[in-house]
Amino acid sequence: MKTIDELLAEGVKGKRVFVRADLNVPLAEGSITDDGRIRAVRPTIAKLAESGARVIVASHLGRPKGAPDPAFTLAPAAKRLGELLGKDVAFATDTVGDSAKETVAALTDGQVAVIENLRFNAGETSKDDAERGAFADRLAELADVY
């Protein structure tokens, strides 16, 4: 895995860069109660975006049971990330489906997207290596660099 400095040295302008971040923030009634983890990843995402990358941010949140659960959506984290970056952040309502593909395809240089909670997909926590691998492969297809 490459460091941010190595990626920037190679050049990321126009490339879709996949960032696995820790956006597992505490929520109360859909509102973030502590945005420290989002603040911690903001500098990395900002550097990539400022360098012209098309940044795809992925994370998990809580412990949903491998299926969508509105109580664990990353939408509030995506909104807060946008506020901290001072720019709109796109949000995909799934992990590797049509919404993720369309959201990523619509990114232009310097834009950021967050894809929905990875744990909404059973492949994220599966004990079956083939299932986990298939999910990882589908995530990798979203990006040029990870």
Q: What is the mean pLDDT of residues 113-138?
A: 95
pLDDT of residue 138: 96
Residue 141 has pLDDT above 80, yes or no: yes
Closest CA to 140 of 19, 10, 53, 13: 19
Give tens-digit pLDDT for 39-85.
999 999 999 999 999 999 999 999 998 889 999 999 999 999 999 99
pLDDT of residue 92: 98
pLDDT of residue 1: 75
pLDDT of residue 120: 96
For the chain, the domains span 4-140
Q: What's the topology of domain 4-140?
A: Rossmann fold (3.40.50)
pLDDT of residue 110: 98
pLDDT of residue 30: 86
Give tens-digit pLDDT for 9-44.
999 999 999 999 999 999 998 899 999 999 999 999
pLDDT of residue 54: 98
Indicate the SS3 state at residue 57.
Answer: strand
pLDDT of residue 9: 93
Residue 89 has pLDDT above 90, yes or no: yes
Which CA distances in Å does 62 have to 22, 24, 25, 132? 11, 7, 8, 19
pLDDT band at residue 87 under the 50/70/90 scheme: very high
pLDDT of residue 2: 79
Would you state the torsion angle of the CA atoms of residues 82, 88, 93, 99, taken in this order, to the nearest 10 degrees? -140
C-alpha gyration radius of the chain: 14
Would you state the torsion angle of the CA atoms of residues 76, 78, 83, 87, taken in this order, to the nearest 10 degrees? -150
| CB contact at 8 A, 38 and 77 | yes
